[in-house]
Amino acid sequence: MSELSPEEINIIQHKATEPAFSGEYDNFHINGIYLCKQCSSVLYRSMDKFNSGCGWPSFDDEIPEAIKKLTDSDGRRTEILCQNCDGHLGHVFLGEQKTAKNIRHCVNSLSMKFISIEKLLEQDNTNNNFGKLILAGGCFWGIEYFYELEAGVLATACGYIGGETQHPTYKQVCSGKTNHAEAVAIIFDKNKTNETKLLDLFFDIHNPTEINKQGPDIGSQYRSAIFVINSNINTQKEIIENYINNFKKNNNSKIATQIENTEKFWLAEDSHQKYFSSRNQAPSCHYRRSNNT
């Protein structure tokens, strides 16, 4: 359990409420995950956060099995608590028509702590319950779209990897001169999914037999590749190699997908993050082949 300030104790343990518009995470739009301030259980993903205008952080979805719901002491509202430690978070409201999911988790900022995607990417896969996998297979917009929907995925980010240029831009990568690939970094909960399940999706939504292209997108930046951060070589590379060998054997096919070792994943510009989901659109170059056979 984390050490709490008197104000945090008042809210988390004694069910008080912080003043509207006072919380750190009210007008806060950074990519990452939100954890319980008291016990560090993962509660919410930034991709499920929205600006409701109510003065408190609002989410229209939760991490499965992370939230407990009880009738509030006032007998009218529904209180939400951390499933793991019973820490008070806030209240949940239905029927407000603020998002397509028609639900709003209204949460005290002081009940949570935040980890950015940058910090998550810096962590070694062996050190905690968060794993990471970096995949490239065509335009990163489509890859990210499907992993945002995948069970057990906590955060995703589009970026550039595998090249020589420091701090590459989209324009530079598209020139084909930096040797970077458009890729998606995936942070996942090891207790709810694993590399094998995530690779099942990867090999379903793109064509791994194509060399330096995917659909209409042509160039080395669109190559099919799985990137292993060097600190994870011993723990992750063997899993990926075994998966690819089994895929080749089971599908009786040669594939172009390469395993590349690297050190640095560069985040893409904000305009490339959550491209399809932010526009309520779906990709056409990537699709579930298992649903079309």
pLDDT > 70? residue 232: no
Active site residue: 106, 158, 174, 285, which one? 106
pLDDT > 80? residue 233: no
The residue that leads in pLDDT, 73 or 52, is: 52
Residues 273-290, mean pLDDT to the nearest whole number: 93
Other beta carbons within 10 Å of 50: 16
Q: H or E element: which one contains 82?
A: strand 78-82
Q: Counting Cβ atoms within 10 Å, is residue 97 exposed (0-12), middle (13-18) or buried (19+)?
A: exposed
pLDDT band for position 291 (cuts 50, 70, 90):
confident
Asked if 132 and 172 count as a contact pair (C-beta separation under 8 A), the reply is: no
Task: Quote the pLDDT of residue 107.
Answer: 98
pLDDT > 50? residue 166: yes
Which residue is listed with tokens 């239905």?
Answer: 94
Other beta carbons within 10 Å of 69: 14
Asked if 50 and 76 count as a contact pair (C-beta separation under 8 A), the reply is: no
Which of 36-45, 82-91, 197-206, 242-251 shows the lowest per-residue confidence on average (mean pLDDT)? 242-251
- For the stretch 177-214, pLDDT in tens is 999 999 999 999 999 999 999 999 999 999 999 999 99
139 is catalytic: yes
- For the stretch 104-163, pLDDT in tens is 999 999 999 999 999 999 887 656 789 999 999 999 999 999 999 999 999 999 999 999
> C-alpha 267: how far from its chain's center?
13
Cα(232)–Cα(246) distance, integer angstroms:
21
Active site residue: 139, 158, 174, 285, which one? 139
> Which domains occur in the chain, in start order?
6-116 (2.170.150.20), 123-291 (3.30.1060.10)
Task: Quote the pLDDT of residue 46.
Answer: 97
39 is catalytic: no
Task: Quote the pLDDT of residue 293.
Answer: 42
